[in-house]
Amino acid sequence: MRPILTATAGLLLSSLAAAHYAPALPLSAIAQPSGQFGLPFAGAPGPDSWLLGQGYGNTTGAYRQRRSTYGNLQGIHAGLDFSAPCGTPVRSIGDGVVAEVDGPHGSLPHNVVIDHAGNLSSLYGHLLQRASLRPGQKVMRGQVIGQSGDSQGTCISAPHLHLELRDKSHQRFFNPLPYIAADWNTLALGGSFGRGYEYDLSVPRKWQTPDSQPPALRGGRLLNEFANPWPPAPGGSR
């Protein structure tokens, strides 16, 4: 019996792994952006509630860590950061089904993944506590699914929500902006949003606005090994 049990366990493990990291879906199978989702916070933005933080894409922060933290995401910040005090209620951006609670997707200490129509998934990272949700549970747009936390775990160093929009296979990462109906032009006036992108001075306008950022493919080549980066790379450009 032992070999059969082992084989069964192996199959189970591989199917679990497949659920997390299935082959990339073709782009044609993934819903195009049409403002079909909402913001992950309720109420008006502001210094006491929530503000946009680091943008999605070719940010200076991601550039500096392009070969380490973001090396498997083509060197870009594959999500959108919202600064918010710890404990701020986080809401599902759309109707969907809970796919994972504290799955293997980083963004510690706690994260939630929700599957949506159109083969899209949203990930809510750096949550304060393990969310009281069950995989398979249906959630509605705007439903509270957790509390925002701090990537450093202190609630004073970097309290923020990291929101990602992925394809359901978790291989592709998209700029959430065109998928989320919001007044981005006004929101971008606050915080550091929209002012923190790494330049390639050879192509100085490339990827410099919040809505012109590239999608990312897990494990793809680095997108920002720039010939003439600005700000300069620590220790040289290569």
200 binds Zn ion (CB under 5 A): no
Residue 162 makes contact with Zn ion by CB under 5 A: yes
Q: Any contact of residue 146 with Zn ion (CB under 5 A)?
A: no
Q: Is 150 a residue that touches Zn ion (CB under 5 A)?
A: no
User: Closer to Zn ion at the Cβ: 61 or 89?
Assistant: 61
Could you say whether residue 81 binds Zn ion (CB under 5 A)? yes
Examine residue 166 and tell whether it contacts Zn ion (CB under 5 A): no
Q: How far is the CB of 158 from Zn ion (least distance, A)?
A: 9
- For residue 94, give every residue at least 6 positions away whose Cβ sits within 8 Å of its Cβ, in sequence order, or none: 36, 37, 38, 114, 116, 117, 122, 141
229 class by beta-carbon count within 10 Å (0-12 exposed, 13-18 middle, 19+ buried): buried
Element containing residue 19 per DSSP (H, E): helix 2-20
Determine if 159 is a binding residue for Zn ion (CB under 5 A). Answer: no
Among 40, 55, 75, 79, binds Zn ion (CB under 5 A): 79
Residue 76 CB, nearest approach to Zn ion (Å): 11
**According to the 3-state scheme, what is the secondary structure of 156-189?**
CCCEEEEEEEEECCCCEEECCHHHECCCHHHHCC
Chain positions contacting Zn ion, by CB under 5 A:
79, 81, 162
